[in-house]
Amino acid sequence: MLRGLIYQERELGNQPDTNGCYHFDLPIDIIARSCQLNQRTVEQVLKGMEKAGLLTSIKGESSSDLLNVVAPEGLKEVYSATRDKVSWWPVR
């Protein structure tokens, strides 16, 4: 889903910023619904992506989460990898 959003933002010319980062205001429940996963799984995947250095998240004071994709090209590797190849993937 993040790769699709990055492609869309790049094509529209809205993002990336000067550092090559993409910023999204995405609540975890919206991510979970769009990916057909439960919220806990999405939280674990995002945590793994943070540990891998692909994104940073900033818990907002409102009900939304701010995701900063700092390594958009790294998402290609994650997307193409199988679950067995990604050590932090929560569902086996």
Domain ranges of the chain: 2-80
- Domain covering 2-80 in this structure, CATH number: 1.10.10.10
Q: Cα separation of 83 and 76, whole Å?
A: 14
Partner residues linked to 59 by β-bridges: 65
Q: 41-77: per-residue pLDDT in tens?
A: 888 888 888 888 998 876 655 545 788 999 888 887 7
pTM greater than 0.75 (yes/no): no
**What is the rounded average pLDDT for all residues in the chain?**
81
pLDDT at 33 over 60: yes
> Does residue 68 come out as left (phi exceeding 0), alpha (psi in the -120 to 50 range) or beta?
beta
- Residue 1 is predicted with a pLDDT of 82
Q: Which of 38, 36, 34, 54 is nearest to 46 (CA)?
A: 54
12 band by pLDDT with thresholds 50, 70 and 90: very high
